[in-house]
Amino acid sequence: MKNIQLALITGVGKQTGIGFEVARQLANQGYQVIITARKQETADGLANLLIKEQLDIVPMALDVTDEVMIQAVAAEVNNQFGKLDVLINNATLFPDQYDTETIDLDDIRKVFESNFIGVWGTVKYFIPLLKKSEHARIVNVSSGSGSFGGEGYSLVNPWRDVISAYSISKATLNAFTLKAAADLKKDSILVNAATPGLTATHDILAGFGGRSVSDGAKSIVFAATLPKGGPTGQFFKDGEIISW
């Protein structure tokens, strides 16, 4: 029997989103894909759309800001499948622009709970399952807006001249990617960040030159399908390593 690769994607909340398209592209490459959303009915509805395309999709409810829920989903994946080959941390909160002086700090906490602490939580609790894979990969969906390297919009060249809480959370996520890659190298688990670039997941972004979701998703799929012994602790866009 062929050993089917199993991927889990967090934050698959809408049909026009990056996570949904990543699930489609991976499943079309023969992966079995668990898509997760905060609510089970959301995951079910989106999974049904992909199942109609004859794709192997499993829906589950997961809120990455709920540590107990992360543990429960990890246990369920272990019970059903016994391993995990690819973890894609796609869940993110994209807040409005906040001013340094007037911000309500509770809003910042919510951003970091979703975009950073939630990622650390999923990595922490899915590591035992990833260790059971012969070729485990973790992909943290990041953003060029959290980079210092000047790749398009960045911390030194911010979109609309505003460094947002989102951008700062993605810079923190990039730092965590480096830490996790170093910590898990001994276990042969590849840990990388990938940015889809400015992608038209919302209508307003199309007006600012956002590219198709299909094109944006390819960067994540590339990192998720790296060969055994491939690079770790890197930041990818369109299959190329970019600067942190």
User: Which of the residues are catalytic?
Assistant: 166, 170
pLDDT tens digit at each of 244 positions of the chain = 357 999 999 999 999 999 999 999 999 999 999 999 999 999 999 999 999 999 999 999 999 999 999 999 999 999 999 999 999 999 999 866 778 999 899 999 999 999 999 999 999 999 999 999 999 999 999 998 899 986 678 888 887 788 899 999 999 999 999 999 999 999 999 999 999 986 646 555 555 556 778 899 999 999 999 999 999 999 999 999 999 9
> Strand 235-237 relative to strand 240-241: parallel, antiparallel, unpaired?
antiparallel
Domain count of the chain? 1
Q: Is residue 97 one of the residues assigned to a domain?
A: yes
Domain boundaries, position 189: 6-241
8 Å CB contact between 141 and 89: yes
Q: Is residue 35 one of the residues assigned to a domain?
A: yes
State if pTM tops 0.85: yes
Q: Is residue 202 one of the residues assigned to a domain?
A: yes
Q: Check which CATH number belongs to the domain holding 173 and give it.
A: 3.40.50.720
Q: Letter for the amino acid at 168?
A: I
Q: Letter for the amino acid at 238?
A: D
The helix or strand, by DSSP H or E, that contains position 181, with its residue range, turns out to be helix 165-184
8 Å CB contact between 115 and 170: yes
Burial (CB < 10 A; 0-12, 13-18, 19+), residue 220, is buried
Q: Is residue 1 one of the residues assigned to a domain?
A: no
Residue 162 burial (CB count, 10 A) = 12
Q: Is residue 73 one of the residues assigned to a domain?
A: yes
